[in-house]
């Protein structure tokens, strides 16, 4: 198979949730030196975008979204160590979770993989994380950054609820707050008082490093 055929196969099989075929194609791609990031950005993510578009049009329903997501997750399980393999020096600590009421986690997991690859220690709180849990985990790990992911317009308001909870606990100024997720915008992030917003995983990593650097250089010696 050519690289183009593998990528097309990954796109097509993810779209219809054929998890075994997706795994086989990922392994075949790796055996044939196909770049893991190319598989991710040129086939797997576009396929999930098409799943979302079909869902919006009413051509797909939740079960179809779910099996496509499972196929994607199988691919990520194989790609994870390769995407995270950089040997980077530790740069900071990150507490990350998907907000309360929201169970989407593929995007969050991808951001975590990239953060780990860049040298961050990541504490992943999973999905449907309540504000109190974020507060408790920030108090326990004292991270440089806490990240909130939201993938639904109905769960985005949890950013503000989480920030309010950090304020109430007296720790808002101790931690950088980053937000992200498909429906989130820079304007929304600014409106809720987040310190940073990124549209995708690689921007999230760049911004995380930048925000830490800015915070460290702002601290008087």
Q: Which residues pair with 151 in a beta bridge?
A: none
To ligand B1M, the closest distance from the beta carbon of 182 in angstroms equals: 4
Chain centroid to CA 213: how far?
22
- Residue 43 binds ligand B1M, judged by CB under 6 A: no
Q: Which one-letter DSSP state was computed for residue 126?
A: -
End-to-end CA distance of the chain: 59
To ligand B1M, the closest distance from the beta carbon of 1 in angstroms equals: 25
CB nearer ligand B1M, residue 58 or residue 220: 58
Q: Which residue's C-beta sits nearest to ligand B1M?
A: 107
- Please identify which residue in the block is written with the tokens 């490093």: 209
CB nearer ligand B1M, residue 32 or residue 142: 142
Give the closest residue to 120 by CA, choosing from 69, 178, 76, 165: 178
To ligand B1M, the closest distance from the beta carbon of 74 in angstroms equals: 12
To ligand B1M, the closest distance from the beta carbon of 126 in angstroms equals: 11
Q: Which of 6, 14, 180, 209 binds ligand B1M (CB under 6 A)?
A: 180
Tokens of 184: 């989130």
Q: Which of 7, 34, 43, 179 binds ligand B1M (CB under 6 A)?
A: 179
Distance separating alpha carbons of residues 216 and 193, to the nearest angstrom: 20
Q: What angle do CA 126, 22, 33 make, to 5 degrees?
A: 100
To ligand B1M, the closest distance from the beta carbon of 44 in angstroms equals: 8
Tokens of 31: 């055996």
The answer to whether 98 and 104 have CB atoms below 8 angstroms apart is: yes
Contacts with ligand B1M by CB under 6 A: the residue count is 37
* Contact set with ligand B1M (CB under 6 A): 45, 48-49, 51-52, 55-56, 62, 65-66, 69, 101-108, 110-111, 147-149, 151-153, 178-183, 198, 200-201, 204
């Amino acid at each position: 198979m050519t690289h183009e055929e593998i990528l097309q196969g990954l796109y097509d099989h993810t779209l219809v949730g054929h998890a075994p075929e997706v795994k086989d194609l990922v392994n075949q791609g790796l055996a044939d030196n196909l770049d893991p990031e190319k598989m991710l950005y040129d086939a797997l993510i576009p396929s999930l975008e098409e799943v979302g578009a079909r869902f919006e049009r009413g051509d797909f329903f939740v079960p179809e979204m779910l099996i496509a997501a499972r196929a994607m997750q199988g691919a990520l399980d194989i790609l994870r160590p390769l995407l995270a393999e950089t040997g980077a020096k530790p740069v900071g600590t990150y507490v990350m979770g998907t907000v309360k009421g929201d169970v989407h986690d593929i995007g969050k997991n991808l951001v975590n993989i990239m953060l780990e690859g860049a040298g961050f220690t990541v504490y992943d709180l999973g999905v449907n994380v309540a504000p109190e849990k974020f507060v408790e985990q920030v108090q326990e790990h004292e991270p440089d950054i806490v990240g909130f992911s939201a993938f639904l317009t109905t769960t985005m308001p949890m950013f503000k609820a989480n920030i309010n909870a950090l304020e109430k606990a007296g720790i808002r100024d101790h931690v950088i707050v980053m937000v992200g997720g498909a429906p989130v915008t820079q304007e929304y992030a600014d409106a809720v008082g987040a310190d940073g917003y990124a549209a995708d995983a690689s921007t999230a990593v760049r911004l995380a490093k930048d925000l830490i650097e800015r915070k460290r250089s702002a601290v008087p010696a």
